[in-house]
Amino acid sequence: MFTAALVTISSVNFDVVVDFYTQFLESTPQPSIPHVYAEFAIAGVRLGIFCPKPSNRDEFGHPSQSGMSLCLEVDNLDRSIDKLAQLGYPPSGQISTASHGREIYAYDPDGNRLILHQSASE
């Protein structure tokens, strides 16, 4: 069901944060979409940094919410959504589609953000 997992950080200060990690990790992000997404490979872990869409930015300013997310790459987004619903935690938003694939936000029982993503190549 799952094909990959990565830790992500959202930031409205995207360019500053990507520059920080580029310098700190002494690595160039791959893939990288200017002002939108950057990904670093660190000792078997993928760190993704993204700029949240304007419609999602309000949740990142709340003191109880972190910019950290668990992003799960799935082979079938619809099946994963169904499984969350069966567990009693259905996503409340809509699936968004971009050039890189389809994704939806969900939350675990403690309110930690999950990003379920199905690559456009799936």
Q: Could you please report the per-residue DSSP string of 12-64?
A: TTHHHHHHHHHHHHT---SSEETTTEEEEEETTEEEEEEPPPGGGGGGGSSTT
For 93-122, write each residue's pLDDT tens digit. Answer: 899 998 889 999 998 877 878 899 999 875
pLDDT classification of 37: cutoffs 50, 70, 90: very high
Confidence grade of residue 67 (pLDDT, cut at 50, 70, 90): low
Domain boundaries 2-119, corresponding CATH code: 3.10.180.10
